[in-house]
Structure 1
Amino acid sequence: MGILLSACAQSEPVVLPDGPGRVVALENPAIEEASGLAVSRVSADRLWLHNDSGGAARLYAVDGQGRSLGEVDLPALQNLDWEDMDAFVMDDSPMLLIADVGDNSAQRPVVTLHWLEEPEPDQTTTAVTTSLHLRYPDGPRDCEAVAVDSGEAAIYLLTKRDQPPRLYRVPLAAQPLVATAEFVGTVNSIPEPTEQDLLEDPAYGANRSQPTAMSFAADGRRALVVTYKDAYLYERQDGESWLAALNRAPRRIDLPQFPQTEAGGMRADGRTAYVASEQLPAAMVEVTLP
C-alpha cells in the first residue's frame, strides 16, 4: 500500500510504505520518534538509534532486521533536542556521537556534541567521554545533520532551515569551554522542492529538501545527506574538501515516503544506507548504494 501522508508531517500509526529498498518495522515500541541513527563500527549488523527532543537519554540497539538488541541509558545527560548520531573511530576505539543540536526557532546560543565509546547492547548504562559545547560564529542555527570525519578528526554540521544549507566544522580536539564552529560555506547541490512537491503537500512540501541527517563513509570517500524526500550520495576525490564534494551534483537515492524521515546513516564501507522515520510503527529502510 502506498503512503498518502506528508513526508514531513507528524502522524498517527500508519501502514509501512512500499518503495525502494527493504523496509522493516523496528520491533521496540520505545523507538517512537527516531531522529538519530548510526551504524556500528564494531558490527555492520548493529545499528544505534535515539528518539527526538524530550525523549529519554537512551540509545537503542537494533539489527538490520529491526529486531531489538538492547537499550543503554546515559543517566548524566538530558535529551534537550537530540537530532543526529554518527559512528566513528578515534584512537583505534569505536565511538558514537550524539548531536544535541536541534533548534527549530534558532534560539539556543549554545548546543552540545557528546561522544562516547560504543557500548555493548546488553549494557544498561554508560557515560560519555566528552561533551563539547558549541556556538556558531553567525548566530543560532537549526541543525539535524552531523557527521564525523575520523581521518580529519573533525565534526561537520549541515544546517536545516537555511536556504542554501550552511556547513560548519569543529575539530574533535576542540578545548574551549564553549567552542566556536568554523563556517565552511554553503551547500548548493540539494535540489529545491518541485512544483509537484508543493501541489502534493501545500503545508509541508516546501520543507522536503531540508537536510535531516548526514553520514560519512569510514574512508572519507562518500557522504550521504538525508532529506525529508530523498537522500543524496556524494563522492569525494583525493585531496578534496567536504565543501567541494558536497557542492558537486550528487546521485539521488530514492526513499520510501515515510511521514517524517529524520534519521539515517551508512555502513563503514559506504555501500549500504539505513534511514528511519518518526512514526509508529517505527519504520526503517535498508538501501544498497550504487
Structure 2
Amino acid sequence: MRIFLTAAMLALTAAGSALAADLPSKKMAPMLPPPPPPPLWSGFYVGLNAGYTWDERGNVLVNSPANIWAVGASGSGALATSNDGFIGGGQIGYNYQFGQTFVVGVEADIQGVGGSNSSATVGNFVTPVSSAITASKQLDYLGTVRGRAGYLISPTLLLYGTGGVAYGQANLNATVTQTGLNGATGSATVGFSDTRVGWTAGGGVEWLFMPQWSAKAEYLYYDLGRASASNTLAFQGVNVGATTVSSSFKGHVVRAGVNYHFNLFTPPAPVVAKF
C-alpha cells in the first residue's frame, strides 16, 4: 500500500510540473525589436520661397545692314546687359520616402522676378553717318517642374538634387537709330516678348523642424535658350534691310523656403502588444 501511495504522489508531481511548464510566463515573453520610425517625409506639401536671381551677363547682339552701319566693321553691335534682383513665389510637391534613407518626389513652382532691367547703349560717329543702338532684356517670371531625389542625413535632414523643365516670360528690345546728311534719320525698334521653355538643375537641403513643417535652402541654374526678333530698318524713307536682335536667357537662383506637409498617406506606427 505504501508503495502504491508513493508511486501516485510521484505521478501527480510530474503532471503538475508539466502543466506549470505549459502556462504562460512573463519571463518567457518573446523579445520583439522596436518598430522602425514611420516615414516622416511621404505626402503632399505646399510652401513659399524667396531669394535672389542673376543672369550670366549675356550680350544682346544687334545686326543691321552693313552698307550704312557705323558700329563695327561687320555691321553688328554687342551690348552687355544684366537682369538681377529679387525673386519670390510658391511651390507644391509630393515626396515618397523609401525606408529610412532615401526620398524621391516631384515639385512645381512659379516665381515673379523683380530684377533690375538695365539697358546699354553704344554709338559710333563716322562722317557722314552716325549710328547708335540701345538694348535691354528682362525676365518677368520663372517657373519650374522638377524631379527631386535625396538622402536623409538624419530622419529630419534631407540633402537632395533636383532637375527638370524651366519656363519664363522673356522680354528683349533694341532700338537702332542712324542719322545721315542734313539730319536725315532712320530707325527701327526690334522686340521679343514671349514664354521661353528650357531646363533647370540644382540642389539643396531641407530640414523638417516640426512634424508638418520644413525649411529649405536651394540653388538652381536655368537655361531658357536664345530668343531673337527682326524688323526692317528705314533710312531716308527707304527700307534698306532687316535689323535683328538676339540674346540668351540663362542664370542662377539662390532662395530659401518653407513647406507645410499634409502627410495624408503616412501610415500610423505599428501597435506592439505588451504583456
- The TM-score by the shorter chain falls in which range? under 0.3
The structure carrying a bigger helix percent of its residues is: 2
Tell me the TM-score normalized by structure 1.
0.22
Bigger Rg over Cα: 2
The structure carrying a bigger strand percent of its residues is: 2
